[in-house]
Amino acid sequence: MRFAPNIFASLIAAALMLANANTIRATQTSAPTQESAPGIACFGTFGSGVTCLTEKGWQNYNKAGKQIGGDQITALAQCPDGRLLVGHAAGAHVFDGKKWAEYKLRGVTSPSGIACDAKNNVWLSHYGGVSQFDGKKWTTYPASSFAKDEDASVSALVKDIAVAPNGAVWVATLNSIARFDGKTWTVYREGNGFSKKYFFEKITLDAKGYPRAAVNGGVLAFDGKSWELLENRDLLNPQATLVDADGRILVGDDNGLFLYEDGAWSRIAEEKLGDRSVRSLAIDKRGRLWIGTDYGLHIVKDDQWTHYYMHNSDLASNDIRVILTQGNGPALPKPISKKPGSISGSLVKDNKPLANVKVEVCVRPLGFFYKGDTPCASQPFFKSALTDKAGKFRITDLPVGNYVLTAEGAPGKWAQLTAFFGGSEFVPVAAGKDTALGELTVEEK
C-alpha cells in the first residue's frame, strides 16, 4: 500500500496491507419490520455500510455480510409499507423485513438520493437523471427534462430527490431545483426563480411539502410561489438540512449546527459538538434530534445528550453520513466499555531510522492545511508518541475506532498515511488489539 503526499511529505508502507475498516463490525442479527418494533434509526457510513439501532439492539449491514452491494452509503429512505431503501456507491438495495434484494437499473451505479412516495413507488436520483420503480418496471427521466445548462456534464449532476405528501417530486441538480407533478417539470435556476447561480447538494421538504435547500450563505425556502434566501454567511459547506413540525430549520455544516427560528439564525450545541462537521440530521416522533457527525452519533432531547462511538457501541463507523429515523425511534442502549487498542510501526527516511520523531493519530481526515500546533491538535480526539532510536513507535490506549496517522518527518513538515486515491487512510483499531503497520518510509515531495 502506498501513501500519497498531503502535508509536505508522504509515508510509504513497506510490507503491510491494512485491513479495511469493515473488519470491525458488530455481530449481525435480523432486522425488525415496521410492525415488530416501535421505531428504528439507521445510520449510513462512508466505507462501513449501514448500522441500524432497533429495540433488539445494534445491527450492521454491509457488503461483507452480503446484505448490500456497497459500503459507501449515499442515501437512506423508508417506504410507507416499511421497506428500508439503501443507496450506495454500487447501486441500491431494499430490505422488506425478511430479506435483502438489489434494485437493478442499467447505467445507475451510485444513486445520490433515494425516496419513496405514498404509493410505495421508489425514486432514485443519479448521474444523468431520476428513475422511478413501480414494483414492475423502471421509468427514467433524463436530466435534460429538468436541467438546462450550457455544459451538459453539469446538468447531468443530479444531487438529491424528495417526494412531497401530495406526490410532487422535487429534484436538486448541481445548480437548479425542479418539480415534477407527474406530467410536467418546472425548473428553478438563475434567471428563473433565483437571482443568481446557486450550487446544491441536498434538498428537504417541510410539513407542507415545500422545499428547503441549503447553499453557501443561507437556505433557499419556497412558499409555493416564490423563493426566499434566508441568509446565513456562516454556512460555508452545508451538509444536511432538517425542518421540524414547527417549521424551524436546522442545518448541519462544517462549522457546526445552526438553527433558524423566528426569522433569525443561531449556532447551537457548540459546546457539545465542538469542532465536528455535522453531516446528517433526523428527528423522531419522541422529539429527539439525531445528529451524525464526522466523529460520532449524538442524540439530544431537553438538553439530555447521548453520544455513541465505535468504542462505546456497535456502530460500524464514527463517520455518520446519513440518518433515517422511523416512528418513535428505538430506546437508547447504555454505552458499553471496550478495551482500548494500539497502533505500532517504525519510521525510516533515506533508509535510516527516524529517531525522536513525533507521530500523531486523530479521527478526522486531514487536508493540505490545518489549524493548531500540529495537524491533529484541533480534532475531537488525538494522541501522540515519539519514535525511539530505532524509529519504532507505539501509540497506546486508543479507543476502538478508525484513525488517521501523521508524522513530523522534518521540523515543521508533516506527512500522513494516505490511500491510493490520495485521501487519508484510516487505520482500524480493535478492542484489546495492536494494529501493526510495519515499516513506513517518509518521502519528501
Q: What is the DSSP string of 203-253?
A: -EE-TTS-EEEEETTEEEEE-SS-EEEEE-TT-SSEEEEEE-TT--EEEEE
* pLDDT given at position 33: 40
Residue pair 232/258 in contact (Cβ under 8 Å)? The answer is: yes
Cα torsion 392, 398, 402, 408: sign: negative
pLDDT, residue 38, reads 64
Listing DSSP states for 121-167 in one string gives -EEEEETTEEEEE-SS-EEEEEGGGT---SSHHHHT-EEEEEE-TTS
Q: Is 107 exposed, middle or buried (0-12, 13-18, 19+ CB in 10 A)?
A: exposed
Q: Please give the class, per CATH, of domain 9-18+338-444.
A: mainly beta
Predicted confidence at residue 51, as pLDDT, reads 98
d(CA 54, CA 238) in angstroms, rounded, equals 29
Per CATH, the homologous superfamily of domain 22-327 is YVTN repeat-like/Quinoprotein amine dehydrogenase (2.130.10.10)
pTM confidence score? 0.90
Whole-angstrom distance, CA of residue 31 vs CA of residue 29: 6
For 424, which DSSP code?
A: B
pLDDT at position 93: 97
- What DSSP state is assigned to residue 44? E
Give the C-alpha separation, 340 to 297, whole Å: 19
- 246 burial (CB, 10 Å; 0-12 / 13-18 / 19+) is exposed
> Under a CB-based contact definition with an 8 Å cutoff, are residues 10 and 442 in contact?
yes
Name the CA radius of gyration of the chain, rounded: 23
Domain edges within the chain:
9-18+338-444, 22-327
Q: How many CB atoms lie within 10 A of CB 182?
A: 7
pLDDT block averages, 10 residues each, the chain of length 445: 36 37 27 54 96 93 95 96 95 93 89 96 96 95 86 86 97 96 95 94 96 97 97 96 96 96 96 94 96 97 96 97 95 97 96 96 87 90 97 98 94 85 87 97 79
Judge contact between 105 and 111, C-beta under 8 A.
Answer: no
Q: What pLDDT does residue 368 have?
A: 77
pLDDT at 418: 83
The SS3 call for residue 109 is coil
